[in-house]
Chains A and B, each alone.
Chain A
Amino acid sequence: MAYTVVGKSVNKVDAIAKVTGKAKYTDDFHERDMLVGKILHSPHAHAIIKSIDVSLARALPGVEAVLTYKDLPRINYATSLPGYVDDGTETECEAECESDRIKFSTAGHPYSLDPGHRDVEDRHILTKKARFVGDDIAAVVATDELIAEKALQLIKVEYEVLEALTSTDAALKEGAPLIHEEHEGNILASGGFAIGDVEEAFKESDYVFEGEYETSIVQHCHMENQTSYAYIDSDGRIVIVTSTQIPQIVRRVVAQSLGLPWGRVRVIKPFVGGGFGNKQDVCIEPLNAAMTIAVGGRPVKIELSREESMVDTRTRHAFKFKIKTGINQDGKLIGIHISAVSNTGAYASHGHSIAGSAGGKFRYLYPTKALKYDPITVYTNLPVAGAMRGYGCPQIFYAFESHLEDIAKRLNMDPIEIRRKNLVEVGYVDPVSKNKITSCGIRECIDKGKALIKWDEKKASYKEQRGNKLRGLGMACFSYASGTYPVALELAGARIVLNQDGSVQLQIGATDTGQGSDTVFGQMVAEVLGLPMEMVHVISTQDTDISPFDTGCYASRQTYVSGMAVEKAALEVKGKILEFAARMTDIPVDKLELVEQRIIYKHSGESVLTLEQVAMQSYYDRVHAKPITSDSSNNARINAIPFGVTFTEVEVDIKTGKIEVLEIYNVHDSGTIVNPLMAEGQVHGGVSMGIGYALSEQLTFDAVTGKAQNNNLLDYKLPTIMDTPDIGVAFVETYEPTGPFGVKSLGEPPTITPAPAIRNAVLDATGVAFNRLPMNPQRVFEGFKKVGLI
């Protein structure tokens, strides 16, 4: 389909603000007399607080408040706002009762009216029981950072130290201490799905293969750490300015965590320095709100350090997979059984949803007669895992695409052919979600990737390699989703106002955290209204008091789901413009069209009015004035499945265990590409994150104490520009009929398949299968030693 603005690489609407230093992030705003909030983190992975003495800290000059679990609101506490002042005295109940303090969930999911579908509420703002090294024990509000730090040191805590369960194996062991009393066996949740009878399918299969695969704990490492500040305004409402992907959910969770009516909280999101899922969680805002309450509503800032951000916010769930697959001689998959153990760390956060999402999104790629998915999500005494780009899919596709490669090798089949034999086709209806595949370019993606990397030529030339540096090729495919339907609500809002000069403001509830959604929405409005981009003013700040309702930035949902709301709002404005023009001219509305800021006769193209003339009349006509606006909301009860593939060529240094990615191409079917330059940028960043996942990144912990060993940007091996190869990007532009302008999601998918493709390339080069991530030099070296290559 031919578009004018959609499909063009227009400049990012906020790029100039960002290259000139004008873009304001949360920490760039200053309130007079802003106080500083700091958190006392547990030094123990698993311990009960026997006593906590804050008297010395409270007595330190410059300390305005000290909070422990005892100071936090009890259930039904709401009426005491805003007059709550922490005077340091304790009632008998305050001293002991943790059980009647409010428990809440931090997960950035839409609220559910069905209590059975809500996130697990398993945490307090400050805890009496430490469940990981870093758990929030107490907090200080002081006039400056140094006093706050000093006060933290003056808090005396006596702990009863319990056994630290630093792995899922330890947590699942019989007789292991319980991390949460309510969760027997330390199992947060279990349960997946079953299609067909997998045992029967194995009986029918020519071969049955088994494999085990394991992924690591990694971290988002957005460049801007979590930061927020909060105060109580003159109406007694708590205002929180925060670096978040989900302002509406922050509002709700803060209110829930403090027992307040939701309308008493206002959340403002300025520019955000990256999130990648970590800011789809409500990590610091409830405590920030409690802090401002404790100091009579004065502004208090919490700015996490990098070291805090890396362990005290969220991480990516590590998974262990066992896969059993039945397959026929011809390569046709008959039955697949995937068991998974997901490590959620100390609290539920997104909980079992990550494991659920992994299976749910995998299900589309290779439809088989029988597919059984049995995940369990386990608590451990490690930092809390939550949402991270790909939401379970980098894990499951690493496992399955590695497994399928192993099967191809055993059957002596071409790895591309084995996939082709099993890939989904348009028209397929997923038996669990009932989603229908309405566009699918995965086969074309494979063709393109194969040609780009010169697969056949290189395969032939690498047949007889010798020496210590070996080259190999690998590939891996994925399927994903565009939003969360039918698992959760997919509501989005957009509002447009036509200005006097014919330009428009666009307000959306969807949040841009750097990925470029504001620009894409601006392009959509420009397309519908026939405006140049400079006539579309996108409001990039979200404010829960002002912005339309949208659940936020996650699940690769915004271009698709929020795009529907934007298109709807733009079409409504267009309709109103033409109706107004019709009234002004007495020409029937169906004879008119809006192009290039003019109202024209449809049949001849002759100009009737300028858009500006209509706009001016809509404001100032003494009889008919009615400014042209729209305020749309869209409940997307549909989902579109994007696909893609990674092709890569690696060189493996047998002597050092170092893997070098020589070439890597990601080819995506994301439907229509709204902005090619920005879309490529999404792929670059996602692939880079995927390469880090494959080769270098891993948060490591002391197995006994559970203490993180590398929670900083020096020891945690985030790829630098020196480590990142040239990343090739290509698109197969299908047209997705359910999406606005034919789009499907793109943001998260690029992270999914670099790791399995690299793993498969290493297997191709060396014959050694690495079934554990990351494939860092130490692990690779040990692997080669084990098989006698060294």
Chain B
Amino acid sequence: MFKRIAFSVNGKAFNIEVDIRESLLELLRNHLGYTGAKKGCGVGECGACSVLIDGVPTDSCIYLAVWADGKEITTIEGVASKSGELSAVQKAYVEEGAVQCGFCTPGLVLTTTALAESGKEFTREELKRELSGHLCRCTGYQSILKAAEKSLEGHICTCVDSPHYKGK
């Protein structure tokens, strides 16, 4: 059975019929070619398939494609600017050595992006909790945490009592 849905991916509008049994991950990867979202488990354990749905990090493997009706989806392909310039989060991941095999990277970059855009302030422990839905076997999470901290630095809060305050 198919159902027609309208949604956008990285600002591009789609209005298509989708198999009601399919996950958003399958729709993105197999039909639309957004292969940046990775399948590491297919059951919501590892976070490799994360995309932003209306700005919220979500495991696309356990999110039905039909639920995307009316939603704005951001995938890793939509994080850099149209002219190809990396976002601050992407730069931080590159510079801090947070990328090894790269399979968990798209999901982590997207979750970090959502945190950076949330405007909230996080302690280190809170930040770890926010990122804990993503499994990584290469990095021991050390450089990922550094990259996330760097991404959030001076980016989320300019209030004077914030540890991120840089005298702006």
A224 near B143 (CB under 8 angstroms)? no
B109 near A513 (CB under 8 angstroms)? no
B135 near A274 (CB under 8 angstroms)? no
A713 near B46 (CB under 8 angstroms)? yes
A311 to chain B, nearest CB (A): 14
B91 to chain A, nearest CB (A): 8
B128 near A273 (CB under 8 angstroms)? no
Nearest CB to that of A713 among chain B residues?
B45
B94 near A16 (CB under 8 angstroms)? yes
A contact residues, total (Cβ < 8 Å): 58
B79 within 8 A of A: yes
Chain A contacts with B in 1-54, Cβ cutoff 8 A: 9, 11-12, 14-25, 27-28, 30
| Known pairs A276-B137, A306-B43, A680-B97; A726 contacts B142 (CB<8 A) | yes
A688 within 8 A of B: yes
Most A-side CB within 10 Å, residue of B35, B97, B131: B97
Describe A's contact surface by its main secondary structure. loop
Chain A contacts with B in 53-76, Cβ cutoff 8 A: none
B101 near A11 (CB under 8 angstroms)? no
| Known pairs A684-B142, A714-B45; A223 contacts B101 (CB<8 A) | yes
Select one of A19, A714, A718 contacting B86, CB under 8 A. Answer: A19
B140 near A688 (CB under 8 angstroms)? yes
Q: How far is the CA of A303 from the CA of B30 in the complex (A)?
A: 14
Inter-chain contacts of A19 with B (CB < 8 A): 76, 79, 86, 90, 93-94, 99, 102, 105-106, 109
Q: How far is the CA of A20 from the CA of B85 in the complex (A)?
A: 10
For A698-722 the 0/1 string (1 means CB < 8 A from B) is: 0000000000000011100011111
Q: How far is the CA of A774 from the CA of B141 in the complex (A)?
A: 21
Describe B's contact surface by its main secondary structure. loop
A24 near B35 (CB under 8 angstroms)? yes
| Known pairs A19-B93, A20-B76, A713-B41; A223 contacts B35 (CB<8 A) | no
Select one of B39, B80, B135, B138 contacting A720, CB under 8 A. Answer: B135
Nearest CB to that of A221 among chain B residues?
B137
A532 within 8 A of B: no
Inter-chain contacts of A303 with B (CB < 8 A): 39
Q: How far is the CA of A513 from the CA of B128 in the complex (A)?
A: 26
For A266-282 the 0/1 string (1 means CB < 8 A from B) is: 00000111101000000
Select one of A28, A515, A722 contacting B100, CB under 8 A. Answer: A515
Chain B contacts with A in 83-111, Cβ cutoff 8 A: 86, 90, 93-97, 99-106, 109
B97 near A274 (CB under 8 angstroms)? no
Q: How far is the CA of A306 from the CA of B134 in the complex (A)?
A: 15
A673 to chain B, nearest CB (A): 13
Select one of B76, B101, B128, B129 contacting A21, CB under 8 A. Answer: B76
A20 near B77 (CB under 8 angstroms)? yes
| Known pairs A12-B94, A20-B76, A721-B145; A220 contacts B137 (CB<8 A) | yes
B42 within 8 A of A: yes
Nearest CB to that of B78 among chain A residues?
A21
Interface range on chain B (Cβ under 8 Å from partner): 35 or more
Nearest CB to that of B37 among chain A residues?
A21
A11 to chain B, nearest CB (A): 5
Inter-chain contacts of B96 with A (CB < 8 A): 677
Q: How far is the CA of A721 from the CA of B140 in the complex (A)?
A: 7
Select one of A23, A221, A714 contacting B102, CB under 8 A. Answer: A23
Nearest CB to that of B30 among chain A residues?
A30
Chain A contacts with B in 180-238, Cβ cutoff 8 A: 220-225
Select one of A514, A712, A720 contacting B101, CB under 8 A. Answer: A514
Q: How far is the CA of A687 from the CA of B131 in the complex (A)?
A: 20
B139 within 8 A of A: yes
Inter-chain contacts of B137 with A (CB < 8 A): 220-223, 274, 276, 685, 688-689, 718
Chain B contacts with A in 1-40, Cβ cutoff 8 A: 21, 29-30, 33-40
B80 to chain A, nearest CB (A): 5
B132 near A681 (CB under 8 angstroms)? no
A678 within 8 A of B: yes
Q: How far is the CA of A720 from the CA of B104 in the complex (A)?
A: 13
Q: How far is the CA of A108 from the CA of B30 in the complex (A)?
A: 32
Q: How far is the CA of A271 from the CA of B38 in the complex (A)?
A: 13
B35 near A687 (CB under 8 angstroms)? no
A305 within 8 A of B: yes
For B116-131 the 0/1 string (1 means CB < 8 A from A) is: 0000000000001101
Inter-chain contacts of B142 with A (CB < 8 A): 680-681, 684, 724, 726-727
B51 to chain A, nearest CB (A): 11
B132 near A721 (CB under 8 angstroms)? yes
Q: How far is the CA of A223 from the CA of B108 in the complex (A)?
A: 13
Chain A contacts with B in 704-752, Cβ cutoff 8 A: 712-714, 718-722, 724, 726-727
B66 within 8 A of A: no
Select one of A223, A688, A722 contacting B103, CB under 8 A. Answer: A223
Task: Point out residues on A near B: beta carbons under 8 Å.
Answer: 9, 11-12, 14-25, 27-28, 30, 146, 220-225, 271-274, 276, 303, 305-306, 513-516, 677-678, 680-681, 684-689, 712-714, 718-722, 724, 726-727
Task: Point out residues on B near A: beta carbons under 8 Å.
Answer: 21, 29-30, 33-43, 45-46, 48, 75-77, 79-80, 86, 90, 93-97, 99-106, 109, 128-129, 131-132, 134-145
9 A-B pairs with least C-beta separation: A21-B36, A514-B101, A688-B140, A18-B102, A273-B103, A684-B140, A21-B76, A28-B35, A713-B45
Q: 12 pairs across A/B with beta carbons < 8 Å?
A: A12-B94, A21-B36, A222-B101, A223-B104, A272-B101, A273-B102, A513-B101, A677-B97, A689-B137, A713-B135, A714-B45, A724-B141
